Amino acid sequence: MSLVAITRPQFDVELDIAYSTPRNFTGAPIYRRAAAYLHADAAAALQRAIALARPLGLRLKIFDAFRPAEAQWKMWNHTPNPEFLADPRRGSPHSRGVAVDLTLIDSGGAELDMGTAFDAFRKESYHAATGISEAAQRNRFLLLGLMTAAGWDFYRNEWWHYQLFDARRYPVLSDSSVEGGMM
C-alpha cells in the first residue's frame, strides 16, 4: 500500500515531527528522519481540515502522522501506558497511516495555547479537561470542530490526536512501507 507524503506545497501545513527529535516523551529520537505520511483517505481528510482552517487565518502544525509498527513497539517498550499509547499487539491508528497528531498555528506560525504540550501524558491533556485556561479550552474545541467537520474522529485522552473512523479496517504497516524508511 502506498502512503502519501505530506509535504508543501501540496499540503499547506508546518511539520514539526517530534519523534525525529528528543522533544518527545521518550527523550530520544525514534525516527532517523523527519517525514509525515498518510494513507490517501487520511490525506484527503487532512486537505479538508486545511481548507476549513484557512478562512479563519489558521494553519495546522503536524507532530506525527504515519508511525511504523517498529516505532510503536519502541514507544510501548519505553512507556506501556494504554491511556496514551496503543498496544502494538493491537496496532495503532498511526501505524495504519490513518492518524495524525497536530495543533493549530496562527498566521505568524505561533502555536495556539492548548493548555498542555504535545505528548503530555496526563489528565490535563484530555479533550474535556477543565483544569486549563478558558482560552486553551476554546482552542481545543476549535481544533476539535475543524477536524471532526473534515471527517476525523478524536481520541478523548489526547487533544492533539485525530484518526479516521473505523481505523482498524486499515492494515498495520512497517517501516518498509515508505521508500527509504523512517527508522
Q: What is the CATH number of the domain that holds 27?
A: 3.30.1380.10
Q: Is residue 72 part of a domain?
A: yes
Q: Is residue 89 part of a domain?
A: yes
Number of domains in the chain: 1
What's 101's DSSP letter?
E
Q: Is residue 183 part of a domain?
A: no
Tens of pLDDT, residues 22-57: 999 999 999 999 999 999 999 999 999 999 999 999
Q: Is residue 163 part of a domain?
A: yes
CB burial of residue 117 (10 Å; 0-12, 13-18, 19+): middle
Q: Is 158 a catalytic residue?
A: yes
Nearest to 60 by CA among 100, 102, 6: 102
| Mean pLDDT to the nearest integer, 62-87 | 96
Angle, CA 5 vertex, CA 73 and CA 177 arms, to 5°: 45
Give pTM, 2 decimals: 0.96
Q: What is the reported pLDDT for 1?
A: 61
**Active-site annotation holder among 111, 124, 134, 158:** 158
Q: Is residue 35 part of a domain?
A: yes
Q: What residue numbers bound the domain in which 172 lies?
A: 4-177
